[in-house]
Amino acid sequence: MDKVDDASSILQLGTAFAPAKILHSAVEVGLFEALQDEPADLGQICSKLGLNPRLTRDFLDALVVLGLLDKEKGRYLASETARKFLVPGQAGYVGGRIKIGGKLHYRAWQSLADALRDGLPKADIDADAKAYERLYGDPERARVFLSHMDASNVMVAPQLDECIAWSEYESFVDVGGARGQVAAILAGRNKHLRGGVFDFPAVRPYFDEIMAQYGTAEQVTFHPGDFFLNPLPSVDVYVIGHVLHDWSVSERRQIIERVSAAARPGSVLLIYDQMLDEDRPDLQSLIGSLNVALITPGGSEYTVAECRDWVENSGFRFLRAHRLPVGNDTVLVAERTA
């Protein structure tokens, strides 16, 4: 996003929520799946999706301007980008993240000024110790959440494959690995690896579905547990992605300590999150940090230096950190010392 430097760009920034809401609404009404194969005109779209034409024409034309619909002779069709990333079931689907952004996150952001005053989260779900139990107890919410996770990690997984020489290792576990998409992608690319996902027991059925989808059921094992309470498996490589930012600094230290307790000398730790760069701050990571602070009691993004301090104080040697070329994550690599 360009710097705001005149009245016109200030006014434009003041309505920057509107393009986001157009996207959120298109995903919510199921527009892209409805227009993935056959073009349709305004009337057909309205009757198919139960929409009122009064606002819908401008809504569709705005999506044409945004590049998410194509329009020819008054008929609309999902653009190639929308078909690839916004139609459920596609490998690159990111609609789960858009759905959560349009509801949970959007509502929390409406109370940013209150959060700045009191420092408290503003999501309309309780972020207490039972939050995950309630989430996974409701299959519909669980699927939306897990799809949101998949959308956030689908770009990361192939890049993690480049971060270390996986041929030198035999086993890995993804700590807080959700339904296992990262583990499945890593295992699929490295057939010699035995993989694992450590997450709450309730995630297991969703993990089984993903393993069946990727054909990695024989290669990746599910380890049920709570990483604050239960020991982690002893493996060569640990992945902790989009997890530390959900917790307070002392909880992040505890998670890394628990990895350290399970690791062997030479085990590698890969941590990825939208890490902050104090010298060259970027808006996307800062938005990510505010977002997680708005929905959790202790969460925020953090700098490489902070993360380096946590791992070095837990028996790891810092090896390197770099921003991944695609997306907005930074990965830190450390090795368990003897």
Ligand X SMILES: C[S@@+](CC[C@H](N)C(=O)[O-])C[C@H]1O[C@@H](n2cnc3c(N)ncnc32)[C@H](O)[C@@H]1O
Which residues are known catalytic residues?
Answer: 245
Spatial separation of the C-alpha atoms in residues 72 and 64, rounded to whole Å: 10
Token pair for residue 250? 């002392």
Q: Which of 79, 147, 152, 274 binds ligand X (CB under 6 A)?
A: 152
Among the residue ranges 11-19, 36-44, 60-68, 242-250, the one whose residues contact ligand X (CB under 6 A) = 242-250
By CB under 6 A, tell whether 246 contacts ligand X: yes
Residue of this chain nearest to ligand X (CB atom): 176
> Dihedral of the CA atoms 81, 82, 88, 89 (nearest 10)?
-30
Is the Cβ of residue 95 or residue 177 nearer to ligand X in the bound state? 177
Stretch in the footprint of ligand X (CB under 6 A) among 60-68, 195-203, 211-219, 330-338: 195-203
Alpha-carbon distance of 28 to 26, in angstroms, equals: 5
Q: Is 273 in the site for ligand X (CB under 6 A)?
A: no
| Residue linked to tokens 């890049």 | 159
State the minimum distance, in angstroms, from the CB of residue 156 to ligand X.
Answer: 7
As given in the structure block, the two tokens for residue 276 are: 């902050």
Residue selected from 153, 274, 314, 330 as contacting ligand X according to rule CB under 6 A: 153
* Pairing mode, strands 172-175 and 75-78: unpaired
Compare residues 175 and 304 and give the one whose CB is closer to ligand X: 175
Q: Closest separation between CB of residue 150 and ligand X, Å?
A: 7
Per-residue DSSP letter, 4: P
Structure tokens that stand for 48 in this block: 């198919």
Asked if 329 interacts with ligand X (CB under 6 A), we say no
How is 199-234 classified by DSSP, letter by letter? E-GGGHHHHHHHHHHHT-TTTEEEEES-TTTSPPP-
Nearer to ligand X, 79 or 153 (CB): 153
Q: Is 185 in the site for ligand X (CB under 6 A)?
A: no
User: With respect to ligand X, which residue has the nearer C-beta, 246 or 301?
Assistant: 246
Contact with ligand X (CB under 6 A) among 226, 231, 264, 313: 226
Total of chain residues touching ligand X, rule CB under 6 A: 18
| Nearer residue to ligand X within complex by CB, 83 or 242 | 242
Q: Least distance (Å) from ligand X to the CB of residue 27?
A: 19
| 301 part of the interface to ligand X, by CB under 6 A | no
Shorter beta-carbon distance to ligand X: residue 39 or 327: 327
C-alpha to C-alpha distances, 276 to 246, 305, 329, nearest whole angstrom: 15, 10, 9
Distance, CA of 302 to chain centre = 16
* 123 Rama class: left (phi>0) / alpha (psi -120 to 50) / beta: beta
Assess 126 for contact with ligand X (CB under 6 A). no
81 contacts 71 by C-beta, under 8 angstroms: no
Q: Which is nearer to ligand X, 105 or 242 (CB)?
A: 242
- Give CA 60 to chain center in angstroms: 27
Question: Binder to ligand X among 27, 31, 108, 149 (CB under 6 A)?
Answer: 149
82-98 burial: b if 16+ Cβ within 10 Å, else e: bbebbbeebeebbbbbb
Q: 103, exposed or middle or buried, with CB in 10 Å at 0-12, 13-18, 19+?
A: middle
200 part of the interface to ligand X, by CB under 6 A:
yes
Among residue numbers 62 through 81, which ones bind ligand X (CB under 6 A)?
A: none
Establish if 158 lies at the interface with ligand X (CB under 6 A).
no
Among 96, 101, 102, 177, binds ligand X (CB under 6 A): 177
Which listed residue (27, 31, 104, 178) binds ligand X by CB under 6 A? 178
Interface with ligand X, residue 199, by CB under 6 A = yes
Of the candidates 242, 215, 246, 245, the one whose C-alpha atom is nearest the C-alpha of residue 160 is 242
156's enclosing H/E stretch is helix 156-160
- Residue whose entry in the numeric block shows the structure tokens 């890995």: 172
Rule CB under 6 A: which residues touch ligand X?
Answer: 132, 149, 152-153, 176-178, 182, 199-200, 203, 226-228, 241-243, 246
